[in-house]
Amino acid sequence: MTATSRVLVTRRLPSKVVARLEARHEVDRHDGESLPAEELRAHVRDKQAIVCVLTDRIDGAVIDAAPELKIVANVAVGYDNVDVAHAKRRGVIVTNTPDVLTNAVAEYTWGLILAIARRVTEGDRLIRRGGWKGFAFDFMLGTELHGKQLGILGMGRIGRAVAARAPAFGMSVVYHRGSTPEARPVSFDELLVTSDVISIHTLLTPETRHLIDQRALARMKRSAYLINTSRGPVVDEEALAWGLRERLIAGAALDVFEREPEVHANLLDLDNVVLAPHLGSATRETRTAMADLAVSNVLAVLDGGQPLTPV
């Protein structure tokens, strides 16, 4: 049997999933908030594996603080919180959790699209503050999706799953970044100019940081909606608040933010934006599957095998 290793689990994960680790290895389980950098470095010093989430910054200092480290298993699809290049130099494997959250995020994306296009959350707030005076023929008119164009920015697994649901709403699809035979590729500028709904599903990289800025917003239709369920910094929140206030676009729905959990103050008092607390993959089924895949990666590597989903 493989010798027992020491594993740090940085957040509370489903007990039945962590039990798989505890049956084989010694687990340091942290169930509270994010560990401060100094504490995180202290916790990893004797560890061979880390199971972390996207809010844990696994930088070079953390990796170097763990001389025996073999694997960082990130419970997320994105891995911008991990210094992958430094891990590679150290011979440390980095894994993520693709595929298992695709459907959950795709379904949720359509929930946000419908919520902003049909003003669902705005109407909810109106009723709760006692502002509804009864039915009126031209009251709080929204926008139908049928016959409109959906622009996908990042046609990966999730982007393709979102696009696959578009025909149910009578929408055509174009995309920029990625590939699929089922939609038409266009330039970034054409996607901005022609799309009625733009949904962001790209990774966060230096190239995509603030990809949606003042210029991009100014190129969009005034009737268009922007949806972001990828990573917050892809959108310049200050520019977005300006664009929404000036009615350069009709609305936006954000599940992710530049400096989570902080939200740009200028967005908070706008009715034409839906703000959600990073819930894209937040179903019991999906979060359990994500944690289970991360643990499977750790067990495989600690057994001397190959990871299931290496970055």
pLDDT digits (tens, 9 = 90+) for 12-57: 999 999 999 999 999 999 988 889 999 999 999 999 999 999 999 9
Record the pTM: 0.91
Average pLDDT of the chain to the nearest whole number: 96
Q: Mean per-residue pLDDT for 85-111?
A: 97
* pLDDT for residue 1: 44
Q: Name the nearest CA neighbour of 247 among 227, 229, 271.
A: 271
Collapsing DSSP to helix, strand or coil, 63 comes out as helix
Residues labelled as active-site residues: 231, 260, 278
For residue 214, list its beta bridge partners. none
* pLDDT for residue 157: 94
Q: Name the nearest CA neighbour of 100 among 292, 286, 310, 291.
A: 286
- What is the CB neighbour count within 10 angstroms for residue 106? 23
Q: Mean per-residue pLDDT for 127-151?
A: 97
Q: How far apart are the first and last CA of the chain?
A: 28
Under the banding of pLDDT at 50, 70 and 90, the label for residue 2 is low
Under the banding of pLDDT at 50, 70 and 90, the label for residue 196 is very high
* pLDDT for residue 33: 83
